[in-house]
Amino acid sequence: MDHPPPTNARRAHEKEHTHPAWPPAAAERYRRAGYWRGLTFGQEVRAWARERPDRTALVDGARRWTYAELAAETGGLARGLRDLGIRRGDRVVVQLPNVAEFVLLWFALQRLGAVPVHAMPGHRRAELTHLVRLSGAAACVVPERHARQDHRALMREVLAGLPDDSRCRVIVVGEAGPYEDFVPYAELRGAPDDAPDDDPPESGDLALLLLSGGTTGLPKLIPRTHDDYAYNARAAAGVCGLDEDSVYLAVLPVAFNFTLACPGVLGTLSAGGTVVLAPDPSPQTGLALIAREGVTLTALSPPLVPHWMEEARADPESVRSLRLVQVGGARLPDALAARLGPALGATVQQVYGMAEGLLNLTRVDDPDELIRTTQGRPLSPDDEILVIGPDGTPVPDGEPGELLTRGPYTLRGYYRAAAHNARAFTPEGHYRTGDLVRRLPSGHLVVVGRVKDQINRGGEKIAATEVEEHLLTHPRISAAALVGVPDPHRGERAVAFVTCEGDPAPDVHDLSGYLREDRGLAAYKVPDQVVVLPALPLTPVGKVDKKALAAGLLPEAGVTGQGG
């Protein structure tokens, strides 16, 4: 069992061993190779402002920031956060949609050496409470409202579920309203450039905590350092050929690693380009921004692709400036990959990444065949790739096996999860991705399936056991198995197979209400379909036979729902 941490805010001087880092010899190699440059994000944002003060860094609706303004404003915000009591090493849960305040606060936290913990906009009481407790957060940042949710009311519920000694502050982007103990973002704004510099972070420090897609009960936190994350963003920017004229449109949530650093927001800024935030992922909003701002690259998830193609066909003029479209987070069907480029008049880049680190991308000069049918090859020459069979030994190229990896920006262990780390990593420090891939002689990977108990609902990851544990708290449910089955729109949908006691058995509507309202679970984790069975089928070793369950829902016998 992994033990929950104390919930009160920890200070930087407390020496807690939270996670394993790279061994010194590997770290030295990564520094010598020039991957780790010894700079913090706080130093980077100031250096960018000195190099190109007047270029546009950030656009959100009618609001625009030059690089000089970005650095000045984050300096003032850092002062405001310090005055609130946030210090180097403190964790701060950030749950914001695609608004400029995400970027400004993110850099302000970096300047203090405080550590943003990335929540997704859709997360609700269950996820937020878990994030605050596990990270021992000193503060949470939320929007006033987003997508019909009052996040202040939600935070009040989260705080009520914490022990009395937790001192988690709440910062609201917008009005605090009746919540008098919450701090409005506007009050944090100190004088420009006034960042405190008495206890500066170091480049090897923890810079952020990302949420893992999860395979076990509760989501794990992924530690990323300034050195490794800056390399991730900069190297991805290099692969995408970004420069000062690049304009990146952030369509997917900015808190998502793909959008933030692959190359995304951070890679674009490191290259001197401009970041434009899309308030929603619709092609109508996206195409209007592409036309208005001269966007040159963007990143989509597979379910968005058909809608964006349709809109672009109707209005080809609007996408004239677009050069590169990245697609990742879930498997892009080969047939869609072939049609996307011509529809948007841009080069397609498949991206197979993970918050844990390893990033694979097709290259712009790859042959069409590889761009259409593979999920790319590793970003770094020092990404080490192993593809292993069930016996743990490497399989030949072309054969499917589980992908294991280690390298200059892939974690060596989750945060405060020693027991889980013993299973998720090899003794040599390779991360077990849980993905089934085939490696081609060119080094490109094809994602063919998954051995982890996770559902990938169009890029949104659902840990089956997390939802099963919530389902089992329902008074009528006696057994539950959440299974991914192929779905024409999302690639996969989540089906809950349950056995019930008493009548009537709960249907999908009842369970949706139960999971969202009673359990406080994010809506995207609610099963799309519920199937009640007299008993769940078991494998010979007595585990629930998820393959058999998934196969039972398919018209074509013999195909399982676990494929990537």
Name the residues that contact ligand OOB, by CB under 6 A: 213, 257-258, 262, 328-331, 350-355, 359, 375, 433, 435, 447, 450, 456, 461, 564
Minimum distance from residue 518 beta carbon to ligand OOB (Å): 27
Minimum distance from residue 354 beta carbon to ligand OOB (Å): 4
Length of the chain, please? 564
Q: Select 129 or 374, whichever has its Cβ closest to ligand OOB.
A: 374
Residue 142: burial class (beta carbons within 10 Å; 0-12, 13-18, 19+)? buried
Cβ-proximal residues to 352 (8 Å cutoff; 6+ apart), any chain: 328, 359, 360, 361, 375, 376, 445, 447
Minimum distance from residue 172 beta carbon to ligand OOB (Å): 27
At residue 343, the 3 state secondary structure works out as helix
Minimum distance from residue 195 beta carbon to ligand OOB (Å): 30
- Which of 259, 273, 247 lies closest to 353 in space, CA to CA? 259
At residue 504, the 3 state secondary structure works out as coil
- In whole angstroms, how far apart are CA 304 and each of 252, 311, 330, 489? 10, 11, 11, 9
Q: Select 7 or 135, whichever has its Cβ closest to ligand OOB.
A: 135
Q: Select 353 or 408, whichever has its Cβ closest to ligand OOB.
A: 353
Q: Select 90 or 366, whichever has its Cβ closest to ligand OOB.
A: 366
Q: Select 212 or 246, whichever has its Cβ closest to ligand OOB.
A: 212
Minimum distance from residue 348 beta carbon to ligand OOB (Å): 12
CA–CA separation, 82 and 103 (whole Å): 18
Task: Pull the structure tokens for residue 347.
Answer: 């080069």
Minimum distance from residue 173 beta carbon to ligand OOB (Å): 24
Q: Give the residue nearest to ligand OOB (CB).
A: 353
Minimum distance from residue 485 beta carbon to ligand OOB (Å): 16
Cβ-proximal residues to 555 (8 Å cutoff; 6+ apart), any chain: none
Minimum distance from residue 66 beta carbon to ligand OOB (Å): 28
**DSSP string computed for 319-330:** GTT--EEEEESS
Phi/psi of residue 434, each to 5°?
Answer: 80, 0
DSSP label at residue 219? P
C-beta atoms surrounding 449 within 10 Å: 15
Q: Select 415 or 514, whichever has its Cβ closest to ligand OOB.
A: 415
Minimum distance from residue 443 beta carbon to ligand OOB (Å): 16
Q: What is the 3-state secondary structure (H, E, C) of 160-212?
A: HCCCCCCCCEEEEECCCCCCCCCEEHHHHCCCCCCCCCCCCCCCCCEEEEEEC
In this structure, which amino acid lies at residue 501?
A: E
Q: Select 449 or 537, whichever has its Cβ closest to ligand OOB.
A: 449
Angle at 383 between CA 380 and CA 386, to 5 degrees: 145
Strand order in the sheet with 491-500: 477-487, 491-500, 529-532
Q: Select 10 or 406, whichever has its Cβ closest to ligand OOB.
A: 406
- Which of 364, 281, 283 lies closest to 318 in space, CA to CA? 283
Minimum distance from residue 497 beta carbon to ligand OOB (Å): 22
Q: Select 200 or 486, whichever has its Cβ closest to ligand OOB.
A: 486
Q: Select 76 or 281, whichever has its Cβ closest to ligand OOB.
A: 281
Answer yes or no: are the C-beta atoms of 472 and 480 closer than 8 Å: yes
Q: Select 9 or 305, whichever has its Cβ closest to ligand OOB.
A: 305
Minimum distance from residue 352 beta carbon to ligand OOB (Å): 4
Task: Pull the structure tokens for residue 4.
Answer: 């929950």
Minimum distance from residue 312 beta carbon to ligand OOB (Å): 21
- In whole angstroms, how far apart are CA 469 and each of 115, 326, 473, 480, 481? 30, 35, 7, 8, 9
Q: Select 523 or 538, whichever has its Cβ closest to ligand OOB.
A: 523
